[in-house]
């Protein structure tokens, strides 16, 4: 492992803040030849007691209650934004402008305009930037990408994906239901993952036709959307996300059909890649072999990993980019990718409103 370290400042201590913090802590123990040793400098949150407890639990040197203190902290070189969507743009741009490398959770922003400004800010500042589409770092997903890059599936005809959850009928008041804070509902929260995987695995989204729905009374954001799309290269795609699918806890499923075979995946069974070579049906491959992506870090074949491990893989990749060992793209999403997904989300909302097939214009 390198002796060099990098100071990390994280905004947010809830769900994502916890997941990222855990990954930073684990990295030195698992990644062979880690390019930079993360030093957990500070974590930011508004509630003093909670952020103090989080800092203590996760091992941060200090906590702050104003994210601006992270920006001005010279010991922090990596700013990791795990805050709610409405708090993505301003702190992230500020961090980039202060010369810090920036990792921002998905969706990158509440809309494409905001996302574009973030991408431009990061580029202008010349810092490394990564948007947290962590499912690219599921070993089975990375393996799928390798199979696709090798051309083993042939010309791609279909991508179909849905992200189904069931908790949306809750009467709790969550920031995820607030339009100002969240930007959108299932579309940005779940659909963004679907769109990112379409782009990562198959190709750019060119046109979309969509319906967006709010089923729950008094809900300010969408509960669900459905869309059809054409992808660069000619494939047809279906995208769907909902928070109202009883029995589906966290079911991000996709299937790709090509001229020479098919691939399939379900996040409720993340260690499995389904593959068909045509007429023999689908093979359930447990992606836990030592030469499967990332698996040399972990356990012997058949000893499965979980959802949280994606963050370990993702952050190691980002540290590699910061250290100059690899580039963020194509395996991680850059802010450009985050912006492009936002353009597709915006086009989906436009299509739902206009009733027309909308061309996705990337600026």
Q: Which of residues 31-70 bind a second copy (CB under 8 A)?
A: 57-59
Element holding 13 (H helix, E strand): none
Smallest gap from Cβ 86 to a second copy, in A, equals 20
* Binder among 33, 126, 300, 324 for a second copy (CB under 8 A): 300
* Binder among 126, 281, 324, 361 for a second copy (CB under 8 A): 281
CB-wise, 280 or 324, nearer to a second copy? Answer: 280
Instruction: Give the residue among 248, 252, 251 at the shortest CA–CA distance from 166.
Output: 248
Judging by beta carbons within 10 Å of its beta carbon (0-12, 13-18, 19+), is residue 167 exposed, middle or buried?
Answer: middle
* Binder among 46, 303, 325, 363 for a second copy (CB under 8 A): 303
Q: Kindly report the length of the chain.
A: 363
CB-wise, 128 or 209, nearer to a second copy? Answer: 209
- Strand ranges for 87-155 from DSSP E: 101-105, 129-132
| Cα 263 to Cα 313: distance, rounded to the nearest angstrom | 22
Q: Which of residues 76-135 bind a second copy (CB under 8 A)?
A: none
Q: Is 184 left (phi over 0), alpha (psi -120 to 50) or beta?
A: beta
CB-wise, 176 or 317, nearer to a second copy? Answer: 176
Smallest gap from Cβ 95 to a second copy, in A, equals 25
Q: What is the DSSP letter of 108?
A: S
Smallest gap from Cβ 53 to a second copy, in A, equals 10
27 CB neighbour count, 10 Å cutoff: 21
Instruction: Give the residue among 209, 227, 19 at the shortest CA–CA distance from 106.
Output: 19
CB-wise, 11 or 212, nearer to a second copy? Answer: 212
Smallest gap from Cβ 350 to a second copy, in A, equals 12
Instruction: Give the residue among 90, 256, 331 at the shortest CA–CA distance from 79.
Output: 90
Instruction: Give the residue among 58, 60, 11, 7 at the shortest CA–CA distance from 37.
Output: 7
Q: What is the DSSP letter of 333?
A: B
Smallest gap from Cβ 122 to a second copy, in A, equals 28
Q: For residue 283, state whether it binds a second copy (rule: CB under 8 A).
A: yes
Q: Which of residues 321-360 bind a second copy (CB under 8 A)?
A: 351, 355-357
Q: Which of residues 191-250 bind a second copy (CB under 8 A)?
A: 209-211, 213, 215, 223-230, 234, 236-238, 240, 242, 244-250
Q: What is the DSSP letter of 191?
A: I
Site size toward a second copy (CB under 8 A) is 92
| Cα 35 to Cα 150: distance, rounded to the nearest angstrom | 28
Q: Which of residues 126-165 bind a second copy (CB under 8 A)?
A: 155, 157-158, 160, 162, 164-165
Smallest gap from Cβ 96 to a second copy, in A, equals 29
């Amino acid at each position: 492992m390198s002796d060099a370290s990098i100071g990390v400042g994280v905004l947010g201590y809830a769900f994502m803040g916890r997941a990222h913090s855990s990954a930073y802590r684990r990295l030195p123990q698992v990644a062979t030849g880690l390019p930079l040793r993360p030093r957990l400098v500070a974590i930011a949150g508004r509630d003093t007691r909670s952020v103090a407890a989080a800092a203590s639990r996760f091992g941060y040197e200090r906590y702050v209650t104003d994210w601006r203190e992270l920006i001005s902290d010279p010991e922090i070189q990596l700013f990791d934004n795990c805050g709610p969507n409405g708090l993505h743009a301003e702190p992230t741009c500020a961090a980039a402008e202060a010369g810090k490398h920036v990792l921002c959770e998905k969706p990158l922003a509440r809309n494409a305009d905001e996302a574009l400004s973030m991408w431009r800010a990061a580029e202008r500042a010349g810092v490394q930037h990564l948007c947290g589409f962590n499912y690219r770092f599921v070993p089975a997903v990375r393996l799928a990408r390798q199979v696709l890059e090798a051309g083993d599936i042939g010309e791609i005809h279909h991508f179909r994906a849905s992200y189904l959850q069931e908790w949306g009928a809750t009467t709790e008041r969550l920031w995820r239901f607030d339009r100002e804070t969240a930007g959108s509902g299932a579309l940005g929260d779940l659909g963004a993952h679907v769109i990112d995987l379409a782009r990562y695995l198959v190709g750019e989204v060119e046109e979309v036709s969509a319906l967006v729905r709010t089923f729950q009374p008094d809900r300010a954001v969408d509960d669900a959307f459905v869309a059809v799309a054409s992808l660069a290269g000619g494939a047809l795609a279906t995208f769907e996300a909902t928070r109202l699918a009883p029995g589906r806890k966290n079911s991000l499923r996709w299937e790709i059909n090509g001229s020479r075979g098919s691939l399939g995946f379900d996040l409720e069974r993340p260690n499995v890649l389904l593959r068909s070579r045509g007429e023999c049906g689908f093979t359930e491959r447990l992606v836990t072999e030592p030469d499967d992506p990332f698996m040399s870090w972990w356990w012997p074949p058949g000893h499965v990993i979980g959802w949280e491990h994606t963050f370990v893989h993702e952050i190691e990749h980002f540290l590699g980019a910061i250290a100059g060992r690899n580039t963020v793209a194509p395996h991680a999403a850059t802010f450009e990718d985050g912006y492009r997904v936002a353009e597709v989300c915006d086009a989906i909302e436009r299509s739902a409103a206009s009733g027309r097939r909308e061309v996705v214009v990337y600026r």
